[in-house]
Amino acid sequence: MQTFDVLIVGGGAAGITTAAILRRRRPSLSIGLVEPSEVHYYQPAWTIVGGGVYPFEKTRRPTAGLIPSGVKWLKTAATAFEPQTNAVALADGSRVGYRMLIACPGIQNDWDKVQGLRDVLGRDGVCSNYSADTVQSTWRFVDGFKGGTALFTQPPVPFKCPGAPQKIAYLAADRWRRRGMKNCDMHFLTATPTMFGVPYFAKALDKVIASYGIVPHFQHNLVAVDAGKREATFEVTASDGQKSRMTMRYDLLHVSPPESPPAFVKQSPLANQAGYIDVDQNTMRSTKFENVYSLGDACSTPNSKTAAAVRKQAPILVDNMLAAMDGKEMPKRYDGYASCPLTTSLGTVMLAEFIYGGKVTPTFRLDPSKPRWIWWWLKTTGLPFLYWEIMLKGYDFIDIRHGEDKAAPFLQPA
């Protein structure tokens, strides 16, 4: 059985970033990376691909060109974690061993949790920015929309990029407004009780959605799609917890699907009751096995699942794991940082940055509740460059966020 000093399961943003940082900080380690896909996607750009302002081809690159030199690529999928024997079972029938395991297999789109959805995706007005196979159909339907009822859905948390379901609603609304479209009835239906999980930004987004005349529906979870009738059915949770169902007709339906870890993660000894890899939310180490670490979408940290979170988690995890390998105390702590560039129009973005507890932590001394053109440039130009050329290559970011003692005036209590 082949064995590595460090085995990384998952070659997405988390896996490749962590591998690159490890190679820079401890090049003597043998590192294996388990990843079946030959194509790597910059998924944060799919919202603007669906909005018609970013080429899909710029979001994809060959995985082979991103894996750091010196890292062994095991081009197959993991099928089981075996932490009791420090091994991982692979889809090709082999097993691979490790001294340290970093598990970051990502999460999956659970299309089948919405009855009738899978069969209609990409046709008859039903689209989603959450898949490489469907994101281009979003723009096709938005561009070809001639009026009628447009529904945009958001599933229960957790799921990737909690702002994405409403970003596409704003891009579509702005596009249709600029075209002078009058016969447009837009609805945003979310399984959550507010527009955003951080109250500071939820209040600001209430104003954004109102400015477009989009009708918000809270505690509405999409459960079924009838393509023949063009109807979407939602489970509605009342304030007293009682559940009922309602059906709405649509001409365009953008679906953000429910998500969860892959089955082999849910069934593994690493998982908590919810199916996520159980880690200490500050150190990123498994709560069950001392030589196992996890980051990214599949781990249990209660932060927003974004690439920005991975960017902060990866160097902290690496520093803590290397310290543990050297018999030292783990020196770093992850504070739950995440960033969500909330695209509010064709040309403006609200830059939401926050940590555990919903505390707002802006990098720049500008009111983060105000949509700005500079953050549009960051979203469309700056962040893709930083992702491909800095983050995935393991370079350090300079963290210039100001401390609690220097909080900006607009964040002070009124």
Q: In Å, what is the CA distance from 84 to each residue of 95, 99, 105, 410?
A: 13, 12, 19, 51
| Residues 51/164/344/126 CA torsion (nearest 10 deg) | 40
Name the strand (E) or helix (H) holding 14.
helix 13-25
Distance in angstroms (rounded) separating the CA atoms of residues 93 and 290:
26
Query: How do 359-360 and 348-355 pair as beta strands?
Result: antiparallel
Q: Which of 104, 127, 161, 299 is catalytic?
A: 161
Whether 256 contacts 128, CB under 8 Å: yes
Query: How do 231-237 and 220-226 pair as beta strands?
Result: antiparallel
Between the two ends of the chain, the Cα-to-Cα distance in Å is: 62
Token pair belonging to 9: 């399961």
Q: Which of 104, 127, 184, 340 is catalytic?
A: 340
Q: Is 161 a catalytic residue?
A: yes
Among 32, 142, 98, 44, CA closest to 378: 44
CB neighbours (10 Å) of residue 374?
Answer: 13
Q: Is 184 a catalytic residue?
A: no
Q: In Å, what is the CA distance from 200 to each residue of 195, 205, 251, 361?
A: 11, 9, 33, 11
The number of residues in the chain equals 414
Catalytic center residues: 161, 340
